[in-house]
A and B are shown apart, each in its own frame.
Chain A
Amino acid sequence: MLHLPRWATDCLKRADPALAQSDKPLVLWEKQRGAMRVAALDQQASAEGLSVGQSLSDARALVPNLETREIDQAFTGQVFADFSDWHSNASPIVSVVADHAPYGDLCLDITGVSHLFSGEQAMLAQLISRLEALGYAVDGAVASTIGAAWALAHFAPGQVLAEGEEGRALSYLPVSALRLDEPQIAGLVQLGLKRIGQLYERDRSSMQARFGASFLLRLDQALGWAEEKLVPRLPLVEHFAEHRFADPIGLMDDVLMCTHDLAVQLSLRLERQGIGAQAFHLFLYRVDHKVMTLSVNAARATRDAGHISRLFAYRAERLGGEYDAGFGIDMIRLAASSMSPLQAAQVGAFGVDDGAATLDHLYDRMASRLGALAVVQSYPVNTHVPERAVKLVPVLAAAAEPEVVAPLVRAPRPLRLLPQPEPINVIAEVPDAPPASMVWRRVTYRFVKASGPERIAAEWRNADQALSLTAETIEAAKTSGGPDGYYEEGTLSRDYYIAEDDGGRRFWLFRLGLLGIARKPRWYMHGFFP
């Protein structure tokens, strides 16, 4: 039995070296009934006196320099499961003991394996030291029952218990070593039955009446009077197809041909399960124990074998000189990921091809040829600032963009915006009459019509300077004159005008800054109407 008391924090620290090097105590929290409570902590944090179940704000009050993260229980458990699978290199039967917590306890059946490690004691030491080398806090014990091993690993680690020794070895351990429920433990402790040894010779029926059958079962399991079985973890079914070659292959074309075959196999398998995938990975196993991987992404979930293999073909074109088969490839595996349900589509006789699928294929082709980031589409952004109201998003990522819920812009917007507003000289009446004429790129334009202003204030939250909201007195406003004399914002607001010149050209101009705020408002040209 291996017990990793700080798995949650250790695994996070391994994933984030900055965290591991930080000297701040780390605490993971989760929301329990609306309150943020400590769910896991590292060595340092428990040395500071924090404990699991404490409220996060209490913990913070005690240790102000606390590093806190929200725990992802499912993820942590999953990583632990993967981690436990890795132990199959020590023993074929590995199991996560999840009675107490979904992670942290790992049980290995070492029957008939320990001699490979020159004995149980040595095996235990070896397992523990290799985990410690990886940076995990770990305790362990060997016993002939799961219950006893668990108890020892938690409360008296490092022991190797011979069969039949359980009763003696467990007697001085606290009753909580029996993997009992919280109320059971509390009840026993209240009655003064704090050590396992105190339970041995009690009247079983009166104990059962008070603590339930599960109590006796746990006790019996620990002492070896009742059997407990390990539930070994099963490997997950993956979606892949593979092909082994008797003779290693080397040519790219052969690889692609084989890829197509695999794609057909995979596609059949996916179809049977009614799913499609968005990401595909090709693993090329070389005879010299190296693996090359190629990955492609599709714009939407697919299982079209032709499409999949074409994507790899385009991808391979870009590979060029990087492709190196070495001494040859003896196995190719094609795997799919990012699954989503994809029902078989009925192709109707009178169906109208809206071109969406073709467009998607075009996107995929362009993206796999030019690179995923090179193919972009414009996408609306929820802001008043015109030049920021649109952004370019890679087509393959566009589906993931959140839908923009925002009122439409009421005022007309020019079809073409200058990449950068250009300064112009304008003659206009103060304070906010439309412009009469302008000089742009040394040419003078005389306006005959204009509409506006459309006033767009700067987004204060993006301003450079610190926000200052302290109540301005009205008196100050009056003394400073001007209508908006006391109005100061991080950056200036703009007044947009649509102005038409005598030649019928329509421009989109704006004045930066209102009169009375900016000392001298400046004018800019921003776009053209058709």
Chain B
Amino acid sequence: MSDGENGYIELVSTSNFSFLRGGSHPEELALASNGLGLGGFGLTDRNSFAGVVRAYVALRDVEPRPRPDFRYLVGTRLCFADGTPDIVAYPTDRNAYGRLCKLLSIANLRKESDKGAPILEFGDLAPALSASRIVDLSAEDFTLGQLFILMPDEDDWERTETTLHALAARAPGRVWIGAACRFGGDDRARLNRIADLCRRRQVPMLATNDVLYHEPGRRVLQDVVTCIREHMTIDEAGRRLEANAERHVKTPEEMRRLFREHPEAISETAHFARRIGFSLDQLKYNYPTEQIADETTQETLERLTWEGAEKRFGGNIPDEVKRTIWSELCLIAYKGYAPYFLTVHDIVMHARYALKILCQGRGSAANSVVCFCLEITEVNPTKVDLVFGRFLSTERDEPPDIDVDFEHERREEVMAYVYAKYGGNHTGLTANVICYRSRGALREVAKVFGLSDDMIGAINQLHWGWGSTVSTDEMRGLGLDPTERTLGMVLECARELHGFPRHLSQHVGGFVITRDELDRLVPIGKSAMETRAIIEWNKDDIDALGILKVDVLALGMLTCLRRAFDLMKAHYKHDVRMTQLQAEAHDAPEIARPVFEMTHRADTIGVFQIESRAQMSMLPRLKPSNFYDFVIEVAIVRPGPIQGGMVHPYLKRRLKQETVTYPSKELEAVLGKTMGVPLFQEQAMQIAVIGAGFSPGEADRLRRSMATFKRTGGVTAFREKFISGMLAKNYPREFAESCFKQIEGFGSYGFPESHAASFALLVYVSCWLKCHYPDVFLTALLNSQPMGFYAPAQLIRDAIEHGVEVRPVDINRSDYESALEEGPEAGPQAWNRHREMRDQIWSNKAVRLGFSQISGLKEAHAKALIEHRGSGYGSIHDLWVRSGLPIAALEKLAEADAFQSLGLNRRKALWLVRGLKGSDGADSLQLFKQAGRPTVAGEADPELPLMRHSENVIHDYRTMSFSLKAHPMSFMRRSLDRRGIVRCADLGQHRNGDRVEVAGLVLVRQRPGTASGIVFATLEDETGIANIVIWSKVFDAQRRTILASRAMGVRGRLQVEGLVIHVVAEQFTDLTGELLALSNGRSLGDTVLARADEGTLDVTPAHDVPRLKQEETAERQARAAMPKGRNFK
């Protein structure tokens, strides 16, 4: 049908990348056009090219392939702010496309335009079209090379005619009038009117359906997004919505029928398309030349690589490495990527040596020896068996992707360098397309249906692990009827809206650098920082077009390591180098052994990547004993392998409970290093190639299609092909299916092996620090917060358990950040449970906590305090006068008990600080200086009641969220003992299956998506932590206690698996009340503590007053102070 004159091409379409206007994804529109037998399809979003790559990729990757003569055209719908009717513009060639990009960039960057709302005027199109008299003739004529379709404004035919006149004069022979059937009852008259206009003005008429969605059912969503856009409810909307569902992609037959009186309008679409020579393939990307003097870039790269190799391998480069380097360099030369490597190299060099920032390449770049030699990556490819083909290969036409992690606090400096070097109009940040997530979608849709905020909150709360199904029982539990019509519609629409793009924001660190002007490659828009531009495409789009980008990413652990290395140098005179540690891990098993053995005990709090609950329970089973085991450890606890069901087979094989077999001889080569179980992304791909007979290109399309076609159901074709391919080669069906499942998981969350290797290096280095220098490790971690899985409280506690002395914040001793002080040797002090570590801990410093630990104290105030400290402060007043801190800051310090070196306890300090405020009615520091004398003198000692130990602890929690004095649970221990509650540390003395009861503060509650509703909780008491497993049934029954308690007791059965101990919960007791009572200085069952607090005047025993009414203030504060327990999905 698509042959020549008869083919119909849909040329005017609006996707959901015209935010909140279209009802379908660009992919859906393109595929529908293809499927319905159209001759082609053109995507024309409003003043934007944001969605064009999506449709391009969809048509490229879809299975079965589109007919070769199916045209995919790229255009944009110019929507003007000055009331001019919309004009659809199609560039005919690369230059015209560049002009359009420039035009849209101008509209985006207009000063008056809000973020995401371009302002375009008709006059912008070409200087001569401007309505104003003063015409800037030097301005560019953007109409050159464009084909225009004028969409008549039916409310203003006059304006339509004048616009047409002006446009046709500027672009003779390149203007069409778009005609669409609206089914408004007057279509015949309208079409005739347009035809008449065309005849008079000598321009052709072009048939279109002005498409908003790909199939009529999407009208619903179209209505919903219209309401969201206009901030109205569906009932208010009424006639502002379309009357019918006709604006979908229609078949050529249907279009011919509708335009039966104007057949030329149909054939005109093919004429139109034939004049367009532009396609996205032509965006030949030009990379900035990194040429030095008279060397070619390739020569420079080769020189640098060999220089680097000398440095890395110390003069005698192994022949194997030489060969690899040569073959990599050849491939780079063949592909012409040398400048790209030089750019990345330059950025990394600058960061590392000029800015002294720790950085490391991650991802597939770690496969490359060249990257290793250029110091971009740190993993020695000769030590870890890596495949360069994954990074760069002849058959995959994808650019190499080098991602570099920098210290998270200093990434900004690197970005500034990139901008300074390449300039504003050559550097852009990639966009991040923000899509509706389930909560956001539900909120917006619910508003459209007029549900109250209250109700929206109630439904959203069900999202604690809302997959595709909201449990109807849960809804009933909330008093909502899930079968109720409106609610059903809300849920259905929200589900469908999920994944719709909402706006563009900037990607964290993806840079596109061009030699030519960037705004002729892609429209650019404003970003949060004035000088930086973001482009309209995200990183997948850029990949698809073969545009190179550099990812400048931030990684907290690098900040932490940088600090740790600095501390090591300053305090231990030990210059730690990552490469050296890596070499040790590989080549000196005796030196590395203690580090690996530490992880066998799951003693990994604070360590990179392997500190989470899941990782910690895996470690004792996996028992990593060499570097590669870390690589596996990093990769295995990921949704990909978990969903693919690969974890247990691997563990069994590793523990020799199952013999290692391979599904076939040919796959043995692929799966050899992981005992026959695919764990890495590239293994899954290789299975597709070797096992299922995919070509490497197909395998790649398969991987990418997972993301693209999740919604359109295009995966099915691949799935069938994959499974049947595997079956044809006599693989068991279960294996084939689990492999496919895993590829699905890898689509979004997989780790390639090289990436895991890069991370494994950080794992090893952080483990090394934790093992030998827990003091340094703690200090570095505290100063790099927030990062990682644990709060400072747990990190500090863990260091104390390893024998490190941690000292409190003090006005005369602390710095802003935590620091090391001379202290005792830590090794012998290590707690019994870490006794194996005693010989391995080489620390002999104590950690002094910094002012940064005090919540609410401003950095500037702390700095001022330190600056004026001199040889120390003698009194609070001295501090006040010399540092000029405001009273509020002093109060914070007093509340944090930071005046101990002055011999002041918390209450005395507070009393004195408060006294400063009103004394002599003078608040200003200047007055005191003039008066020249301290004013708060001679006030009698207030004889404040002493604070009980337990109360002190609670106050520590309030100001710093931890206490060095004691653990709150220790005050309850007596009564807990009486109840027969076991200490966490003593759980190991019980046997599997024993029924025990533990109690502690609730640190974390977690409900992983992969664990089918099971909730994990972590309790902490003064001896350690206990891991609680809560089955969903138990959780539902005791939901309130579990969620509301700050401290709780758990009775349950012990589950011991080697060193991993879980308590499978049966019964919960809320201990929050007892905990809070501590804040009033009462310790349960403890009569020995010194008399305090109650005060001499207190004649009436406290229990005379009803319990609920007592000292609620103190308890409320205590409640706020105690950790609420973090909830994770």
User: Which A positions have Cβ atoms within 8 angstroms of B?
Assistant: 24, 29, 31, 36, 48-49, 56-57, 60-65, 67-68, 70, 154-156, 171-176, 185-187, 189-195, 197-198, 200-203, 206, 208-212, 381-384, 404, 406-407, 409-412, 431, 451-457, 460-461, 466-469, 471-475, 477-478, 483-484, 486-489, 493, 495-496, 498
Contact at A466–B492, with CB atoms within 8 Å? yes
User: Would you give the shortest CB distance from A168 to chain B, in whole angstroms?
Assistant: 8
Known pairs A190-B895, A461-B234, A468-B492; A60 contacts B458 (CB<8 A)? yes
Q: Considering the complex, which residues of chain B in the window 1078-1129 have a beta carbon less than 8 Å from any beta carbon of chain A?
A: 1080, 1093, 1095, 1097-1100, 1102, 1104-1105, 1109-1114, 1117
Is B917 close to A, CB under 8 A?
yes
Q: Given that A191-B910, A469-B493, A471-B712 are known contacts, is A36 also in contact with B453, CB under 8 Å in the complex?
A: yes
Q: Does B478 contact A (CB under 8 A)?
A: yes
Cα(A56)–Cα(B458), bound, Å: 9
Query: Is A198's CB under 8 angstroms from B36's CB?
Result: no
Given contact pairs A197-B1097, A477-B36, A467 touches B945 in the complex (Cβ within 8 A): no
Are B1109 and A154 in contact, with the CB atoms below 8 A? yes
Indicate if the CB atoms of A192 and B496 lie closer than 8 Å: no
Residue ID in chain B nearest A210 by CB atoms: B914
Contacting pair B1113 A185 (CB below 8 A): yes
Beyond contacts A186-B1113, A453-B185: 14 other A-B pairs, Cβ-Cβ < 8 A, are A174-B1110, A176-B1112, A197-B1097, A209-B914, A210-B915, A383-B238, A384-B238, A411-B186, A455-B244, A461-B449, A469-B221, A469-B496, A474-B32, A488-B217
Cβ contacts under 8 Å, B186 to chain A:
410-411, 451, 454
> In the bound complex, how far is the Cα of B1111 from the Cα of A194, in angstroms?
7
> Which stretch (B97-105, B250-258, B726-734) binds chain A?
B250-258
Q: Is the CB of A209 within 8 A of B915?
A: yes
CB pair A64 B31 closer than 8 Å: no
Chain B residues within 8 Å of A, Cβ to Cβ: 28, 31-32, 35-36, 183-186, 188-189, 215-221, 223, 234-241, 243-246, 250-251, 253-254, 257, 449, 452-454, 457-458, 460-461, 464, 474, 477-479, 485, 488-489, 492-493, 495-496, 711-713, 895, 906-907, 910-911, 914-915, 917-919, 939-940, 942, 944-947, 955, 1039-1040, 1043-1044, 1070, 1080, 1093, 1095, 1097-1100, 1102, 1104-1105, 1109-1114, 1117
Q: Is the CB of B485 within 8 A of A407?
A: no
Q: Contact between A455 and B246 (Cβ–Cβ < 8 Å)?
A: yes
How many Å lie between the Cα of A130 and that of B1112 in the bound state?
A: 30
**Contact assessment for A382 and B238 in the assembled complex, using a CB-CB cutoff below 8 Å:** yes
B1112–A174 CB distance below 8 A: yes
A495 to B1040, CA, bound (A): 56
Report A201 CB to chain B, min CB distance, Å: 8
Q: Is the CB of B1039 within 8 A of A174?
A: no
B942 CB contacts on chain A under 8 angstroms: 191, 202-203, 206
Task: Kindly list chain A residues whose C-beta atoms are within 8 Å of the C-beta of B461.
Answer: 57, 60-61
- Determine whether the beta carbon of A457 is less than 8 Å from that of B477: no
Chain B residues with CB under 8 A of A475: 35
Contact A478–B485 (Cβ < 8 Å): no
> Is the Cβ of A484 less than 8 Å from the Cβ of B216?
yes
Q: B76 → chain A, closest Cβ, in Å?
A: 25
* Contact indicator B1040/A63 (Cβ below 8 Å): yes
User: Which residues on A sit within 8 Å (CB–CB) of B449?
Assistant: 461
Q: Give min CB distance, A465 to chain B, whole Å.
A: 9
Show 28 residue pairs from A and B whose CB-CB distance is below 8 angstroms, ordered by the A residue.
A29-B454, A49-B1070, A57-B457, A57-B460, A60-B461, A65-B477, A70-B452, A173-B1105, A174-B1113, A176-B1112, A190-B895, A191-B944, A193-B944, A198-B1098, A206-B940, A206-B942, A382-B239, A384-B239, A407-B240, A411-B186, A456-B244, A457-B243, A467-B488, A467-B493, A472-B215, A474-B36, A486-B215, A486-B217
Asked whether, in the complex, the Cβ of B915 is within 8 Å of the Cβ of A498, the reply is no
Contact residues in B for A498 (Cβ distance below 8 Å): 185
In the complex with contacts A172-B1098, A189-B1111, A469-B221, A493-B245 CB distance below 8 A: yes
Q: Provide the bound-state CA to CA distance between A202 and B942, in Å.
A: 8
Establish whether residues B713 and A471, one from each chain, have CB atoms under 8 Å apart when the complex forms.
Answer: yes
Q: Are B245 and A209 within 8 A (Cβ)? A: no
Residues of B within 8 A of A61 (CB): 461, 464, 1039, 1043
CA distance A36 to B488 in the complex (A): 25
A304 to B915, CA, bound (A): 68
User: Considering the chains assembled together, what is the distance between the CA atoms of A411 and B1098 in angstroms?
Assistant: 86
Task: Tell me if B1099 and A171 are in contact (CB < 8 A).
Answer: yes
Whether the Cβ atoms of B1097 and A384 lie closer than 8 Å is: no
Contacts of B944 on A, CB cut-off 8 Å?
191-193
Does A176 lie within 8 Å of B1095, measured CB to CB?
Answer: no
Residue of B nearest to A208 (CB): B918
With both chains docked as a complex, state the minimum distance between the C-beta of B364 and any C-beta of chain A, in angstroms: 33
Instruction: Given A407-B240, A460-B220, check contact A49 B917 (CB 8 Å).
Output: no
Nearest CB of chain B from residue A38's CB, rounded to whole Å: 12
Query: In the bound complex, how far is the Cα of B955 from the Cα of A478, in angstroms?
Result: 71
Residues of A within 8 A of B215 (CB): 472, 474, 477, 486-487
Known contacts A189-B1117, A406-B239, A498-B185; A60 and B478 CB within 8 A of each other: yes
- Contact partner of B1039 (CB less than 8 A), chosen from A62, A187, A471, A488, is A62
Chain A CB within 10 Å, residue with most, of B238, B453, B1105? B238
How far does the Cβ of A4 sit from chain B's closest Cβ, in whole Å?
15
Known: A48-B1040, A171-B1097, A466-B492. A187 touches B914 (CB 8 A): yes
Asked if residues A210 and B911 are in contact (CB atoms below 8 Å), the reply is yes
Contact call B479/A67, Cβ cutoff below 8 A = yes
Q: Which 5 A-B pairs have the closest CB atoms?
A: A382-B238, A454-B185, A474-B35, A455-B183, A172-B1100
CB contacts (< 8 Å) of A406 on chain B: these are 238-240
B945 and A192 within 8 A (CB): yes
Minimum distance in angstroms from A499 CB to a CB of chain B: 12
Q: Whose C-beta in chain A lies nearest to the C-beta of B249?
A: A474
CB distance from A491 to the nearest CB of B (A): 13
Q: Collect the chain A residues with CB atoms within 8 Å of residue B36's CB.
A: 474, 477-478
Q: A456 CA to B944 CA in the complex, in Å?
A: 81
| In contact, B254 and A60 (Cβ under 8 angstroms) | no
Decide yes or no: A172 and B1104 within 8 Å by CB, A194-B1114, A498-B185 being known contacts: yes
Chain A residues with CB under 8 A of B1110: 174
Nearest CB in chain B to that of A48: its residue: B1040
Which residue from B245, B454, B1080, B1104 sits with its C-beta under 8 Å from A56?
B454
Instruction: Write the nearest CB–CB distance from A40 to chain B, whole angstroms.
Output: 15
Which one of B31, B712, B917, B1109 has the greatest number of beta carbons of chain A within 10 Å?
B1109
For A173, list chain B residues within 8 Å (CB). Answer: 1105
Indicate the member of B246, B919, B1044, B1104 with the most A CB atoms within 10 Å: B1044
Measured in the bound complex, the distance between the Cα atoms of B1080 and A382 in whole Å is 63
Contact A483 B253 (CB under 8 A): yes
Among A194, A209, A409, A496, point to the contact of B239 (Cβ < 8 A): A409
Q: How far apart are B914's CB and chain A's nearest CB, in angstroms?
A: 4
In the complex, the answer to whether A155 meets B1105 with C-beta atoms within 8 Å is yes
Contacts of B1105 in A (CB 8 A): 155-156, 172-173
CB-defined contacts of A407 to chain B, threshold 8 Å? 239-240
Cα distance, A484 to B247, chains bound together (Å): 12
| A517: nearest chain-B partner, CB-CB | B216
Which residues of chain B come closer than 8 Å to A201, judged between CB atoms?
A: 1097
A493 to B1095, CA, bound (A): 81
Q: How far is the CA of A443 from the CA of B246 in the complex (A)?
A: 34
Of A198, A468, A489, the residue contacting B1097 (CB under 8 A) is: A198
A469 touches B492 (CB 8 A): yes
A203 to B257, CA, bound (A): 98
If A192-B947, A198-B945, A198-B1097 touch, does A62 touch B1040 (CB 8 Å cutoff)? yes
With both chains docked as a complex, state the minimum distance between the C-beta of A508 and any C-beta of chain B, in angstroms. 10
Residues of B within 8 A of A457 (CB): 219, 243-245
Residue of B nearest to A206 (CB): B939
Closest-by-CB residue of A relative to B495 is: A469
User: What separation, in Å, do the CA atoms of A468 and B453 have in the docked complex?
Assistant: 25
Given contacts A60-B461, A63-B1040, contact A466 B485 (CB under 8 A): yes
A200 to B1095 CA separation, bound complex (whole angstroms): 12
